[in-house]
């Protein structure tokens, strides 16, 4: 325990906007993040093959997960750059 009480943390204000749309059998998600003075955005797409069973909700979750994963990669790259890392390789 910290001698003078629990540690205090300064929160970084952030805003995230998620939009989901359906078009031509595909679910598209766009995630926009305003964080630490940066504006980042990524997209994700999910498609259901006619022989697969994937309901609308599952497609939305999959497309959103893909967009968030790509956004996390962007944040990791920004963190590596700010730490002066030589390079960051994202493997999919």
Q: What is the DSSP string of 2-45?
A: -TTSSPP-PPPPEEEEEEEEEETTEEEEEEEEEETTEEEEEEEE
The tens digit of pLDDT for each residue in 61-86 reads: 999 999 999 999 988 888 888 777 65
The tens digit of pLDDT for each residue in 14-61 reads: 899 999 999 988 999 999 999 888 899 999 999 877 787 778 888 899
pTM of the model: 0.70
The 8-class DSSP code of residue 52 comes to S
The domains located in the chain, with CATH, are 14-82 (3.30.160.240)
């Amino acid at each position: 325990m910290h001698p003078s009480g629990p540690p205090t943390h300064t929160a970084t204000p952030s805003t995230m906007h998620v939009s989901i749309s359906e078009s031509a059998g595909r679910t598209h998600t766009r995630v926009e993040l305003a964080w630490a003075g940066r504006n980042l955005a990524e997209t994700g797409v999910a498609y259901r093959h006619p022989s697969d069973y994937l309901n609308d909700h599952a497609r939305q979750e999959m497309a959103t997960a893909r967009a968030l994963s790509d956004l996390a990669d962007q944040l990791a790259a920004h963190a590596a750059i700010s730490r002066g890392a030589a390079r960051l390789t994202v493997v999919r």
